Structure 1
Amino acid sequence: MFGRSVGGVCAVPVLALTSALTLALAGCQGSSGSSGERPSSRASSGYGAVFLAADECSSRGRTSFNEVPCRSERAVARVLARHDGETSDGPACPARTDFVLHISENRPAADENGDGSVDRGYACMRNLDRPHPGDPGGGGGPRTIVGDCVTAAGQGQVRETACDGSGRRAPQYRVVTAVLSRSACPPSTSLYVTLGGSRPVGCAVTV
């Protein structure tokens, strides 16, 4: 009735899974290991045409993720973007992505075009309802963006944490702007955070 399902385990960082087609949940692609130093998406063709294509939705069970119609009461997250390959080689997920599903192996039951396989890749997901850890200050998501808070994690690294203090670690710095180079940061900057993208330097101030 609701089509494809895949096994998965919610974990950060991404773990290797054992089912034929597996999805791993990555909660902090860039936020869990950003460096800190002081001063192509497929278009959706409708439910079922392409496995977890852009704008399609999934449910989330204890051990599996199912592709379901977005109007289904089981739908909990929507695909913002879908890319082939590995996250390290492909485009970054949109800024407000809440988590990433990694599609890793073949499974004929989830075949999208009749050739007995589903392309390896990853889907950038956003929860249909709150919480949205990928929002600015939310304390999660695969990217660190302007408005996020971070805390020192040792050896020149920072870890993203919720700005409201609800995370495991209290926030120490907030990223207030993203610029091309450190010289463009405001005088109040107390930490430089690597963000990536077209404006790779995050200027963070003490909170």
Structure 2
Amino acid sequence: MTRIAFAFAAALAALPAASFADAFAFDPAHTEVRIYWTHAGFSEQSAEFHAIDGGVTFTPDALTATRADVTVKVDSIDTGFEALDTHLKSGDFFDAETYPEIRFVSTGVEQTGERTAKMTGDLTLRGVTKPVTLDVTVVNYGEHPVGAFYDFYKGQWLGARAETVVKRSDWGIDAFIPIGSDEIRVVISTEMKAQ
């Protein structure tokens, strides 16, 4: 185990003690997948996908063995403006009718700090699969304080954030570039419950 891995394990040990299951599932009420792009160079716009399924396997003493499998329902995209939602679901962009899901499957993890890592994986979108790298931060883990009030939150939890930037044209989504930027920032913030 590398010096960084030892430091990471020590940092985890400093948090409240917990006995972890390997499998963690997303809490839909506290999981966000957001995308950001620039519009004509004048503003940053965003959308959130509300329907996310999957989870991760995670063990503090084998961090590089962490794996993720995440599926996002394209039809759940929400910009807050119905006409734009409809356009984003159309063949110009995500083509939700033909390709209803976006999927990320991790292929490896490189630890970069006490609570940070680079997770590589395959992103499948509109029938095209390309490699991407996520910058991942372990925000917290252990017993959830809300478990004192709601049974659902009893047990062990893992909080994480992941971020990357992709070019939509790599997946064949090139409509209206550069009015809508080619580069898309993806941010995932999640709380996950041990299964």
Into which bin does the TM-score normalised by the smaller protein fall? under 0.3
Q: Flag the structure with higher helix content.
A: 2
Q: Flag the structure with higher strand content.
A: 2
Higher relative contact order (CA 8 A, sep 6+): 2
Scaled by the length of structure 1, what TM-score is found?
A: 0.25
